Amino acid sequence: MINRLHSLSTLSENLVNRNAAKGLCVGCLSPDASNGLCSPCRADLPVNRYHCRCCALPMAFAGADSICGECLDAPPAFRRAVIPWRYQYPVNTMIGRYKYSQQRKFARPLIAGLAANLANVYEGSDANRPQLLIPAPMRPARRRKRGFNQTSDIAEHLGRALDIPVSTRVVRRVRPAQAQRGLNRKARLANLRDIFKVCRNVPERVAIVDDVVTTGATVRMLAQALQNAGARDIQVWALARTPG
């Protein structure tokens, strides 16, 4: 089972590295895997079943129309968020290995799952389909340090799967935000104000692509900047959502 991911030693990690190319499960090395996960390991992923219909904030129980307090108080500029998993074990471990060690195979099952989820939504209908995918921009310094921008990587995969163009040049992050941790909602939003600059024309329908949505403050600000620049139908697509 996927619990073995928790204790992957360097040795077994090397084994996963060697074997992922052969299509083995990244959770348990079972050969019976599709997109890098076997069925039992896939069943262990924390699905974000009950959530706010607007920002996908996990809720204990929610109907199709449930909306969280924050979206009710201050509706975001985006129409909805498609975020299939909760940022809990093993999804957090998988995303961590992808992001910080650039081991793409750990994110592959999640990215393929998100693409399949979106393909179902858009099957046969182009009216609501975004015209452009915009990866949430990372600060240049951080990108240089990490040498890899996971949001662009995810957007490229989704763009190929759904046949939607991707642009990393529409929005720039113009200044770093201070750490968001410990700030209340008002302070978080003030901290993020004007950190994004839209540099190019924006089509009417766009989707912001991110790896993990935490407080939601960053995607709210990014969506606002895109709306100010002319986007009318904005979505957020991400792999995982933290509880708030």
Q: Which of these ranges, 3-11, 33-41, 141-149, 177-185, lies near Zn ion under the rule CB under 5 A? A: 33-41
Residues 6+ apart with CB under 8 A from 43: none
Nearest distance from C-beta of residue 52 to Zn ion, angstroms = 3
- Residues 20, 24, 41, 206: which binds Zn ion (CB under 5 A)? 41
Task: Choose, by CB under 5 A, the member of 55, 95, 202, 240 that binds Zn ion.
Answer: 55
Reference 83, options 241, 244, 242; nearest CA is 241
Site string for Zn ion, 141-180 (x = CB under 5 A): ----------------------------------------
Residue with tokens 């959530």: 51
Q: Which CA distances in Å does 205 have to 103, 130, 221?
A: 32, 5, 17
- Cβ-contact 27, 44 below 8 angstroms: yes
Residue placing its CB nearer to Zn ion in the complex, 93 or 131: 93
Which two structure tokens, joined as six digits, stand for 126? 């182009």
CB 6 within 8 A of CB 93: yes
Instruction: Tell which positions 3-32 bind Zn ion, by CB under 5 A.
Output: 25, 27-28, 30
Cβ at position 51, least distance to Zn ion in Å = 8
71 touches Zn ion (CB under 5 A): yes
- Least distance in angstroms from the C-beta of 217 to Zn ion: 12
- Least distance from Zn ion to the Cβ atom of residue 135, Å: 22
Tokens standing for 206?
Answer: 């766009």
Output 62 or 183, the one with its CB closest to Zn ion. 62
State both tokens at 77: 């500029």
CB 98 within 8 A of CB 134: no
Residues that bind Zn ion (CB under 5 A): 25, 27-28, 30, 38, 41, 52, 54-55, 57, 68, 71
